[in-house]
Structure 1
Amino acid sequence: MNHHIIDAAELRRLSGLTQPAALKRWASNQGIPLADGADGPWTTLEAINKALGVSSAANDRTYSADIV
């Protein structure tokens, strides 16, 4: 299991919606990019964090390779 992938089932749980088109509209309104998958739309934890304005470790100077 990849903890960075937010699959269609988790998106349905988060949004309270069940139809793929409704999930896509909800995500678009939240600023979350989605990709189409065999089981429905999916995204990444990083994409959700970015939409929420939360910094990821990749953008955090604490983890930057030039500091090491």
Structure 2
Amino acid sequence: MANNPHILDAEQLKALSGKKAAAALHRRTSAQGIRLLDGAGGPWTAVEAVNAALSVSSASNDRAYSPGIL
């Protein structure tokens, strides 16, 4: 999943949070309103989920989400 720029995989989450165990990652992200999903390589989330928890929208800055493409 690391090849997708919209995904934060378990290794990236561990590096960002300083937590090593999946359960610790789940507790930390849950407390911050970020939903994690469990995958074969460990927990993962979308950058958009992190942005939503921070009340930041990346959609307006990404041409892929531009209303003009509809």
- What TM-score do you get using the length of structure 1 for normalisation? 0.84
For residue 65 of structure 1, what is the aligned residue in structure 2? 68
Identity %: 54
Q: CA deviation at 1:65?
A: 3.4
The within-5 A match list for 1:1-68 is 1-57=3-59, 60=60, 63-65=66-68
> Structure 1: how far apart are the matches of 2:30 and 2:6?
19
CA distance in 1, matches of 2:58, 2:33: 16
Higher relative contact order (Cα pairs below 8 Å, separated by 6+ residues)? 1
Q: Measure, in 1, the Cα distance between the counterparts of 2:33 and 2:68.
A: 29
Larger radius of gyration: 1
The alignment's TM-score, normalised by the length of structure 2, stands at 0.82
- Per the TM alignment, residue 39 of structure 1 is displaced from its structure 2 partner at its CA by 1.4
> Where does the alignment leave 5 or more consecutive residues of structure 2 unmatched?
61-65
Q: Which amino acid aligns with 2:53?
A: A
Amino acid at match of 1:33: R
